[in-house]
Every structure is written in structure tokens, then in C-alpha cells.
Structure 1
Amino acid sequence: ISDSIAKSVLWIDTAAGVWKNLRIRFSQSDIFRISDLQEDLYRFRQGTLDVSDYFTQLKVYWDELENYRPIPHCKCSIPCSCGGIASVRAYREQDYVIRFLKGLNERFSHSKSQIMMMNPLPDIDHAFSLIIQQEREMLGPNSDSSLEATSDSAMALQVNSNYHNSNGRGGFNNKGKGSSSSKGGNRLCTHCG
């Protein structure tokens, strides 16, 4: 709680009283704040922030917006079976991934494209993990390891893409040790060539 809010509830005797007071004050839908949040969210770019700080600020916007506009839970005595609420949640998750990727700096353009082409689109935590790994590799101690790390990251994205587009258990197009490519039968390491 911010200092100013803490001072305003300092003399309330019980925790339940504090929460009741805060709920009454802050749970009301504020259309002006919602519009400001949406505008801030869609204007926000990574700029000079590192990926972690950029993501954290986005998360603050998303959490506050979620507080004002939560996705409802079905309260029917016989729960819905149409999956409408689940679809709305999935769309919101996709919106988070898209917003995160679109606000990243251009140096992540290749990774952004690779992630956007994944089907299904990964959740926001997975997308963040892929980008943060790439950033870590780009900022490596020397240019050779940075180049190698970027290559590793691209390979990780490719492996993940293969996994999502595969058939059968375990993914990777069911190509094991004895398998060879139909284009000449020569196997090449995707990392070192």
C-alpha cells in the first residue's frame, strides 16, 4: 500500500475493516482511469528499459486494468458448458502476448516474428522467457558468445515451433536416431552446421 493510502486506513481497528474500506474506495469502475490505462498501455514501448523492467511495467498496467475490468466467473447454479468465458480468457492472454511483443525494440524483431508465428501462441510467461533469454545472450561478455547465444536462441525457437506443429507424443516430427531427411539423407547439426 502506498504511504498516502496507508495513512488513510491507519486508525481502522481490524484488517477486515481496512479491506472493506479499500474495497469501497477502489473497486468502483472508473471509466476515466480505464481509458487512461488503455491509452498508456498501447503507447508504452520498451525504449531504454531492459526486457524485465519493460515486462514488469506492462504487468502493472495489466493488473490494474484487470482490477477494474475482471473477466467474470460463471455464477449459475448449473455452470455453463459453452466455453465462452474460457475463450475470453484465452483472447486476453493473446492480447498480453501481442502487446508485449509489439512494444519490444527492433533488435528483437526476428524473435518477435518467430513467436508470433507459433500456433498456438505461447502464454505471456513463455513469450517473456524466450525474449529474456535472447536479451541475456545479446548482452553476453563478448561478441562471439553473443553470436553463438543468438544462434542458440533461434534454435530454441525453432525447436519449440517444431514441437507445437508436430504429431504424436514428444513432438519433433517423430524423427529419432535412425531417421534421416528425405533430401539427400545427410544429417546436419542445426547449431554448428
Structure 2
Amino acid sequence: MYFNNASEIWEDLQVKFAQTNIPKLFNLCKEIAYLSQGNLSISSYFTKFRTLNDELDALTETPRCDCGKCTCSVNEKLDKFCKSTKLSQFLMGLSDQYTPIRGHLLLMTPMPTLSAAYSILMQ
């Protein structure tokens, strides 16, 4: 109400509301890193893990090549890396009773998706 033009209003709003999510990202990453199945069922553990990762995905953006000239498949490599990291984090948090199936999942080619690994564990 005390600004001379719309540009000054937008600048003020940007300063007020353009806060970083670094503390939230830190807490989510920490929670994912320390998450373990413990006494939870596979279903509950998977749901909690997936919820945290979905929230993390909503706050972050995987770097992408959008030049249209790449022939190195960098985007596919990044996707594969992110998926393997999530699968590894999920498997690390499983209870020790799942050690044999965890080893089997890690040796599968191609690597299973997180959902496929969950399905195998449920069986």
C-alpha cells in the first residue's frame, strides 16, 4: 500500500516469500538416512519411505540436460542413478531378517524398481 508501483510490490513479495527450503531438505535427507524398518511391517516401512522421498522429490529437481544436442543419454543415466540410490536406501533400512532377499534384489539385472522390490518383499 506504500509502494509507488507494481514492480516495488513484487520485489517486496519476493523478498518475503522466496525463502529457501534448505532446512526442510536437510531434515528430510536426515530422516531418510536414519529411517529403518524396526518394528514396522514392510508395508508401513515402504509407505513411510515412499512418503519421505515423494516430499523430497517435490522440493528438489533432478538436474536435466535440455540442450537437445546430447548424445550421451545423460538424463537416462541420472534417472537410473536416482532410482538405484533410492532402492539402496530402502534396502539398507530393512530388518536383518530380509538379508537374503536383499542380496537377491541387489544382484538382479536389470535392477528392480523400488515398487518391484517392495512387491517381491511382500511375497
* Structure 2 length-normalised TM: 0.78
Higher mean Cα deviation, 66-75 or 98-107?
66-75
Q: Aligned residue for 1:124?
A: 114
Query: In 2, Cα distance between the equivalents of 1:112 and 1:97?
Result: 10
SS in 1 for 2:40: coil
- In structure 1, the gaps of 5 or more residues are 1-24, 134-193
Query: In 2, Cα distance between the equivalents of 1:56 and 1:62?
Result: 10
- The change in CA–CA distance for 1:74 and 1:26 in structure 2 (over 3 A counts) is farther
Report the Cα offset of residue 88 of structure 1. Answer: 0.8
2:98 to 108, 114, 119: 108
Structure 1 segments of 4 or more deviating over 4 A? 25-29
Query: In 2, Cα distance between the equivalents of 1:122 and 1:26?
Result: 40
Report the Cα offset of residue 80 of structure 1. Answer: 3.2
The CA RMSD over aligned residues, in Å, is 2.1
1:86 to 76, 86, 95: 76
Report the Cα offset of residue 27 of structure 1. Answer: 8.7
Query: In 1, Cα distance between the equivalents of 2:71 and 2:98?
Result: 40
2:62 to 54, 71, 80: 71
Comparing both chains, which one has the higher relative contact order based on Cα–Cα distances under 8 Å and sequence gaps of 6 or more? Answer: 2
Q: Count matched residues.
A: 108
| Larger helix fraction of residues | 2
Task: List aligned pairs for 1:22-101, cutoff 5 A.
Answer: 29-76=20-67, 78=68, 80-101=70-91
Higher mean Cα deviation, 28-37 or 92-101?
28-37
Q: Aligned residue for 1:151?
A: none
* Structure 1 length-normalised TM: 0.51
Task: List aligned pairs for 1:130-145, cutoff 5 A.
Answer: 130-133=120-123
Contact kept? 1:27, 1:68, Cα under 8 Å: no
Report the Cα offset of residue 93 of structure 1. Answer: 0.5
Structure of greater Rg: 1
Report the Cα offset of residue 125 of structure 1. Answer: 1.1
- Once the two structures are superposed, residues 118-158 of structure 1 have per-residue CA deviations (whole angstroms, 9 ceiling, x without a partner) of 2332111111110111xxxxxxxxxxxxxxxxxxxxxxxxx
Letter in 1 for 2:81: Y
